[in-house]
Structure 1
Amino acid sequence: MFPFLLFGCATDASYYTLSGQKHTYHRIIYKHSACLDEGIMRVYDEFYRAINPFDSQSTISHVNRNEAVQLDPLFIEAFNRAMELAKQTDGAFDPTCAPLINRWGFGYEERPEAAQAESLEYLKTYVGYDKIELSHDVIVKQDPRVQLNFSAIGDGFACEVIARYLEGQGVRDYLVDIGGEMIASGKNPSGNDWSVGIVQPPKQLGGSPADTFSAILHLSGKAALATSGNYNNFRRVNGKLRGHTIDRGPVTRWRLTC
């Protein structure tokens, strides 16, 4: 699913819109007496410099290569949040799944060849959130091959970080949309609740979404929404299309959603 923002014509000149494709799709709409775009982008860049596994100079990339690096506060916060979610979900979300994500061709080390059961069995020997911890602001790994990937929660967490910045500047009416994850507060430029249209997904991977909405959601007060669409991110393996949702469970760790 992919969201579209719905509202009428803006009548209040104090609403600003910041949008682009840097790091990922983002659209940030906020009401303020001055433009805050520069500050927003500074926070936005700082966040992705901490947790973007596709940036070879990010904090998480240095950690994955076992290089000495001073952990910045945003990385530490993201790590702690990821580990908390891993424990709450009993590993259904696991930030150490980077080798599996790479193996299927969705990570920062693309491997387009078909994944074989033997290699997956080998990979799972060093995948598991119990194999890594943070001790006195230092990452400690039980196995140096353990690697991190926070992407499953990254965009949503980025929304929280941007929303926190906006509220620190006194902003009360805003919508932060990063990669289809969003946080809304207050009212839109029309003075109404923020409305989000969920695009009707295609019936199969590789198809085009319909021109209609499967639902229109109204975000009242302060609310958050996460969306994800396998049809936007897939690979062809042995002639079959595979979506990007991965099962890291203890039995086979094969594809959960196809």
Structure 2
Amino acid sequence: MLRNLLWGASLASISIALSGCQPAERVEVLTGPTMGSTYTIKYVSNSGTPAADAAGVAVQAILDEVDRQMSTYRLDSDLSKFNQLPAGSCAVMPRPVLELISYTNELSELSDGQFDITIEPLLNAWGFGPNSRGKRIPTEEEINEAKHGMGYQYLSIKGNELCKERDLKLDLNSIAAGYTVDRIGKRFEELGISSYLIEVTGEIIAKGKKHDGSPWRIAIEQPVDNGERVVQRILELDGWGVNTSGDYRNYFEEDGIRFSHTLNPKTGVPVAHNLAAVTVIDRSALVADALGTVLLVLGLDEGMEFSKQHDVAALFVVREGDTFVTYTSPKFTERFPEGE
């Protein structure tokens, strides 16, 4: 994704900012740290919705649960405990973890192995993983060794247990934030909050209208290498999740060659195409999050074909010389026509 999620940050504090002078309807804002980054949530509050402090407690409960179940940066999480087990082991896992792994395995099959949550050894070999020793070009032997410790096909679910044939290290960071966004949105609906914009480490979902009747809007940025923030498109969202994945912030260069943190699980090396970023829009932030990774690995040509086959709304930003050129899938053009 645009970032490697760093787990283990304190999730205890929530900063709550109230907007305006308490009119009948107003926008409440919740912010705080999570997953090594931050979250920002806005929702329309009225007499039928929870106060900001109560909504903040509900949000924190979800963040704590995700951290407790899926963190790879705390040794006592359910996922870390599973990762510490040897090959041939099974362990009872929380239902959300099993559901996510079932989904990722389906996506791995659908993408012919271009998506694989067992990729951590390869990330470490190239210096992008949690246990790496600095960014560098690994030897062919090191790449082959890392690939031998991978393989989604060596995972299986048996009832409430997760099993592994190989000594695999699972990493759900590529979808955890999108999943968390969906969970918070679902909880808000249960609490009677029907208009909101939820952002967790860059993954977004928005629904309804703001208190003044205007839509929730987000900006898609152009992937400029120098760190500038250049707006490329403004989208109005109502019921859509958004992910933008790119290779323009996490990479290293050696002998004038750029090595992206986006690795192809099948080849074992960073992608070498000219796709700089891709934005995916879906009703589920989880699905958008996962598909963003798949399309970034595939590149423009294969990614566009995948999008057409599976009705994915995607916007591709491609490097062409010193400029960036944008291409959109048919489904993206249908949902978000240029100029609207």
TM more than 0.5: yes
Equivalence for 1:102? 124
Select the structure with the greater relative contact order (CA < 8 A; seq sep ≥ 6): 1
Measured in 1, the distance between the counterparts of 2:162 and 2:125 equals: 24
The equivalent residue for 2:242 is: 225
Equivalent pairs: percent with the same residue? Answer: 26
SS at 1:21 equivalent: strand
Q: Which runs of 5+ in 1 are unaligned?
A: 3-8
* SS state at 1:172 partner: coil
The aligned residue for residue 159 of structure 1 is 181
- Pick closer, same or farther for the CA change 1:189–1:198 going to 2, 3 Å: farther
* Aligned CA distance change for structure 1 residues 107 and 238 (closer, same or farther; 3 Å): farther
Which residue among 11, 29, 33 is the counterpart of 1:21?
33
Q: Which residue identity does 2:34 align to in structure 1?
A: K
- Residue 65 in 1 paired to residue 88 in 2? no
Q: Could you tell me how far apart the structure 2 residues matched to 1:172 and 1:189 are?
A: 11
Equivalent residue runs for 1:80-229 within 5 Å:
80-112=102-134, 113-143=136-166, 145-202=167-224, 204=225, 207-210=226-229, 212-220=230-238, 222-229=239-246
Are the counterparts in 2 of residues 16 and 30 from structure 1 also a CA contact under 8 Å? yes
CA RMSD of aligned residues (A): 2.4
Amino acid in the other structure paired with 1:75? V
Give the conservation status (yes or no) of the 8 Å contact 1:50–1:58: yes
Shift of 1:172: 0.9
Q: TM-score, normalised by structure 2?
A: 0.65
Q: How many residues align?
A: 244
**261, 276, 287: which one aligns with 1:244:** 261
TM-score (norm 1): 0.84
Matches of 1:39 and 1:238 in 2, distance apart?
50
Maintained 8 Å contact 2:33/2:39: yes
1:30–1:173: 8 Å Cα contact kept in structure 2?
yes
Indicate how the Cα distance of structure 1 residues 257 and 174 shifts in structure 2: closer, same or farther if over 3 A, else same. Answer: farther
Structure 2 residues without counterparts, runs of 5 or longer = 3-18, 274-340
- Would you say the 8 A contact 2:221–2:232 is kept in 1? yes
Structure with greater proportional strand content: 2
- Partner amino acid, structure 2, of 1:216: I
